[in-house]
Amino acid sequence: MINFISEADKSEKAIEILHDVLETEALRLTYSLNLAKKRLKKFERRYSVSSEKFIREWYAEDLKGKDMEYVEWAGEYHFFKSLDERLEILKSITHENS
């Protein structure tokens, strides 16, 4: 659980600002996730395999572009998963009035 303390006369404004910041970050992460998803789909269509299966079972030798393409796909997949994790954590943050 995350708690924050603010001066009493500024607490409502602080809560409003934090809410706006969290909402803006959630929008940014959602936008970035959609872009990453599009890039992953290109690889998935090209090789007719899901990114999850690629990460579990494939090697650079399995790809036309070999090492560079493998690094790009794997990097994009891990970037996507990182963004997704951040968004889930962000969405789990709630505020309770004391």
Is the residue at 3 inside a domain? no
Q: Average of pLDDT values for 6-10?
A: 64
* Domain range enclosing 76: 9-92
Beta carbons of 59 and 70 less than 8 angstroms apart: yes
pLDDT tier for residue 60 given thresholds of 50, 70 and 90: low
Each residue of 65-81: pLDDT tens digit? Answer: 778 888 898 999 999 99
Q: Average of pLDDT values for 12-39?
A: 92
pLDDT tier for residue 98 given thresholds of 50, 70 and 90: very low
Is the residue at 98 inside a domain? no
Is the residue at 15 inside a domain? yes
Residue 15 or 62, more confident: 15
* Residue 91: both structure tokens together: 């969405």
Q: Is 39 exposed, middle or buried (0-12, 13-18, 19+ CB in 10 A)?
A: middle
Is the residue at 28 inside a domain? yes
Would you say residue 41 has pLDDT above 80?
yes
Domains contained in the chain, number = 1
Is the residue at 29 inside a domain? yes
Is the residue at 58 inside a domain? yes
